Structure 1
Amino acid sequence: MNLLFSLHVAHKSPVALLRDLSQDIHGHLGDIDEDVEVEKTNHYAVVNLRTAAPTVCLLVLSQAEKVLEEVDWLITKLKGQVSQETVSEEASSQAALPNHPVEKAVIMQLGTLLTFFHELVQTALPSGSCVDTLLRDLCKMYTILTALVKYYIQVCRSARGIPKIMEKLVKLSGSHLTPVCYSFISYVQNKRSRSPQCPGGKKKSAAAGAVAMARVLRETKPIPNLIFAIEQYEKFLIFLSKRSKVNLMQHIKLSTSRDFKIKGNILDMLLREGEEEEEEEEDDENKEDTTSEHGEQNKEPAKKKRRKETKCLS
């Protein structure tokens, strides 16, 4: 695998190879959604159920890190060239022309890497180094996307705007990467809640629990960093939309706080139960009104009790 990567790097960019390998890994390991049946691809016979994780998975993630570092270096170089441009529009336009092929190459690399991560983030990876490395690389991906957005914020100070290919990259990130990133985070957190139990005594179960907790802490540590990186990316996209007067946020659903989750089915059930209880209380009150004066006297405490409950809820 390392020789194959070296050959691709010497000949051309390895991002297409990474995308094909990620599809093979996804096909062999299955999807994070158990109801989804993944179509198996066989681009490379070296990827099978035995080697897909962690061997091949860690190798492709390591190679993806190298590509991200190269792209980050190029973006830094482009930002340095923009800062050295003169204020005049003529000099700006003349200096910007040679950057177009480099910008296109950077965006193409990031677009293919985005499809690579799109496949891996949907893969049911086993707990361990694969999950930890993938979360860290996703954080790097969003950090570099943010750096590219900041570059175009600088570019938009001149008469030149953002290219159409950049709009496509933003659309791809909003539709193909960010939603599945949050699904993958939920998948990792659900695996954390299912801690394995070790039979054979308290000592063994305590030791297994400690090992499981250490693994969980290691795997979930990059999650806050990833969420922060996504939010930073979205924040600077809003700035770029205002600067370029192009609505880049139309294909992006803004992320929300992950401190809690609203489960629709449970919420509907609780609301229905609350409505039924209120109807029962109203029926009881109507019966008390019609029975006797004793029931009329008991009506006031019932109202007070309901007012007290309403106050607590508010």
Structure 2
Amino acid sequence: MNIPNVIKIDACIENASNGAYPRKVEDVPNLIINLVKSLRSTSVQDTIPAVTAETITRYKSDLNTFIEKLTKAELEDFELDKTCNLDMATHLGLRNNILATLLIDIYEVSLECVFLTHGITVQSSETLLTLFKKRSSLITRLKDSATNEKGKKITNVAEQTHVSLEFTSNIIQSMFIPSQIKAEYTHCIRDLKANIDFTHFLITSTSNSLRAAINDLYCQRDEQHFEYCIIICKIYLKILTNEDSDSTYANQLSTKKAPSVLGSIASSLLTIIEIVRHVWPEQLAMLLKSIVELNDDEDAQQNETKNRVIIDFIMNIKEIIFKYLSGRTPIYKEASQVMQLASFLCDNLEKKDPDYVIRSRHVVSWLDNLAKERPLEEVSLARDIITLLIQLCANIGEFDVIQSLCEDIHIYMGDIEVVTEDTDDMQQTTKYAIINPKTLPVILMKIFEFLDHSLDDLTWCIGKLRLSSELNNEDTTRLFEKELCKRLVALIMILSQLVKSVLTDVHAESLFKTLAKAYKTFHTLVKYKLGNVQEISQDFISVISKSGSEITTRMYKFLTVYGQTQSFDPSFVDAGGYKKKGKGKSKEVNLKRRAKIQRESKMIPNLIFAVEQFERHLIQLSRKSKIDFMQYMKRSTSRDFKIQIDLVMQQNGESSAEEDQLDKDENNEEDDPISLFKKKRVNNEEEEDSGNDYGTEGSASNKRARIS
């Protein structure tokens, strides 16, 4: 290759200089990598003809010359200096972008060529770092200056690497298993490992190279690829175990948005295991067993199951997370990424195996203690811990942990029954240190997601229960109904703790939606029992009694307290229409408040409607079954609606001074009606007069609208 320039640009890119639309016509990176493969394949042959040997020698010399020129060439030699045009809306900019992308790929395959040909030596390590430095400089220039056809900056530069799985596997082994390298080259390994960007590049390339190897139609070597996966995962787990918060692999990117090396290792390990699970699902347990090197004694092999292998791997993850959180400077992001690996493995536990519950309890115990003992403020880590904890508790049917978590939220947020002046009664200590102002929103969100999903599942189960009853499968139906009612009671007790808590804003809205869904589930269950009146079990009665005592009564109290807190909120008053003028942020706040009022004006009536549909069918069930279910429902309430005409008139144009309006509202006995909040007033005298009539004097007779 005796050429003045390293690459002939005009030969690689069509229409590079004539003004037409440019495009790549010569894939130089593939040419180089295939040439390297061919040269390596000939080296293992016993006998080579003299002519062929001479040709191979010449090719090797030309390839070394090409790489030597590439290391010495600057970006300016390729017309990619700092002043070059990288706007893809122009012909020159598009041509330069294609050239830059082509050059990045050439740098990457040249790295592979140098390592696979020469291994780790003093000269090869210097060449590797030089080529990588030039690649990084070119990527930085593209990220800073390149724009697409619409003038926006291009951010996804060099997301897909072109190095092979063999290269990434072998070079990672050479860097992190020093026993394979000669003693005189150990300083070369230190230089490579000290370059954090180079190490980060190798780690992030492993998953891409594995995908490319698996998808290669012309090279299907599953056994070899699986062995590479085992080797890489072993090294990654060893790095995660040995490094701590003081490692440069954890702190080198503290000022950047990119993840640290430890974080990338955890993500790559998860990706490789996911790929193995997808491509070779039957070999997942073998992969995990090979990584953690389980005991191979006869007793262990006899008792070995897939769940045991997964739990043993998770116990290794437990030790890693403990180290990351116990260091002098805890590394929460890296711990969160390792926790995601534990979540994925828990999803792959075999639920049908008899040891599933026992194995899952080990993880639940660990996560429960972690949530109690660690005052974590990292939102992502807290979300991962709580999500996995709730998921496993729901899978094994143990809701005590979730209920305890909600009890702590109740204590932390306050009780709606406690008067503000008597808050000393609620000065209790919480058991879960993970609950704090930063993590509370995400914990509540995950609990509501769990409740919504569980209620949807139970509603579906009630439909299946109806089908089972139609098939006259009495024993199965009775057992199914018993388990369903037990699950409903558990959800009611969890929801009861949230109804008693002082929730506001988005959390209150989530509570309204979940309550409406819960009453729809109760309604569906009652409608099912209307067709099976002859079999009223004690479990069903327990569901009805708990729904009335634990939810309904407290729900109306919550609506009253919530309405009062909103009426005393100045921003709420402003959003109600008192202020007509607003600019900037104040106007945005008013718009948000108006949107909130509109949402609540639908959610709360929907909730009340769901409650009354449930109670209406419950009355019918009471009549048919001759069982007084309405004794569990406090129906001596009047739900009042009040429309304040003066405020409506003011909204429509009769403006008055803001101070007068606020003074006038302080004297109003009722809350701001524009919020359309429904309130409940307890009247024990009406309840006594109603007698034991199963509530036949429905709430419709007690509803009245007052206009003042």
Q: What's the TM-score, normalizing by structure 2?
A: 0.33
Higher-Rg structure is 2
Aligned to 1:257: 639
Aligned to 1:287: none
Percent of aligned pairs sharing the same letter? 29
Q: What CA distance in whole angstroms lies between the structure 1 residues aligned with 2:639 and 2:476?
A: 42
Corresponding residue to 2:509 among 108, 132, 136:
132
SS at match of 1:236: helix
Deviations 1:165-213 (A, max 9, x none): 21122122122211111111122322332343489x8425444333222
Aligned to 2:629: 248
Cα separation, partners in 2 of 1:144 and 1:263, compared to 1, 3 Å: closer
8 Å CA contact 2:638, 2:681 repeated in 1: no
State yes or no: 1:224 paired with 2:605. Answer: yes
SS at match of 1:258: strand
Q: What CA distance in whole angstroms lies between the structure 2 residues aligned with 1:139 and 1:202?
A: 35
Aligned to 1:6: 391
**Counterparts of 1:1-314 in structure 2 under 5 Å?**
1-10=386-395, 12-13=396-397, 15-35=399-419, 37-38=425-426, 40=428, 42-52=430-440, 54-82=441-469, 84-85=470-471, 92=472, 95-128=473-506, 130-156=507-533, 160-197=534-571, 202-203=582-583, 205-254=586-635, 256-260=638-642
Q: For residue 77 of structure 1, what is the amino acid of its counterpart?
A: K
Q: What CA distance in whole angstroms lies between the structure 2 residues aligned with 1:16 and 1:234?
A: 29
8 Å CA contact 1:104, 1:165 repeated in 2: yes
How far the C-alpha of 1:5 sits from its partner, in A, is: 2.3
Aligned alpha-carbon RMSD (Å): 2.5
Q: Where does structure 1 lack aligned partners over 5 or more consecutive residues?
A: 86-91, 265-314
Cα separation, partners in 2 of 1:33 and 1:206, compared to 1, 3 Å: farther
SS at match of 2:570: coil
8 Å CA contact 1:28, 1:49 repeated in 2: no
Q: What CA distance in whole angstroms lies between the structure 2 residues aligned with 1:22 and 1:140?
A: 19
Q: What CA distance in whole angstroms lies between the structure 2 residues aligned with 1:105 and 1:235?
A: 25
Structure with the greater relative contact order (CA < 8 A, sep ≥ 6): 1 or 2? 1
- Residues paired across the two proteins, number: 248
Q: For residue 17 of structure 1, what is the amino acid of its counterpart?
A: V
How far the C-alpha of 1:60 sits from its partner, in A, is: 0.6
Deviations 1:28-52 (A, max 9, x none): 1112345253363534332234422
8 Å CA contact 2:455, 2:517 repeated in 1: yes
Q: Where does structure 2 lack aligned partners over 5 or more consecutive residues?
A: 1-385, 643-678, 683-708
Flag the structure with higher helix content. Answer: 1
Cα separation, partners in 2 of 1:46 and 1:220, compared to 1, 3 Å: farther
Q: What CA distance in whole angstroms lies between the structure 1 residues aligned with 2:429 and 2:629?
A: 34
SS at match of 1:137: helix
Deviations 1:243-291 (A, max 9, x none): 1111111221225433256979xxxxxxxxxxxxxxxxxxxxxxxxxxx
Deviations 1:3-49 (A, max 9, x none): 21232244x12533321111011111112345253363534332234
8 Å CA contact 1:22, 1:119 repeated in 2: yes
Deviations 1:131-190 (A, max 9, x none): 11111010010000111111111112xxx3201221122122122211111111122322
8 Å CA contact 2:411, 2:428 repeated in 1: yes
8 Å CA contact 1:68, 1:141 repeated in 2: yes
8 Å CA contact 1:196, 1:209 repeated in 2: no
SS at match of 2:641: coil
How far the C-alpha of 1:234 sits from its partner, in A, is: 0.6
8 Å CA contact 2:493, 2:550 repeated in 1: yes
Q: What's the TM-score, normalizing by structure 1?
A: 0.71
How far the C-alpha of 1:62 sits from its partner, in A, is: 0.5
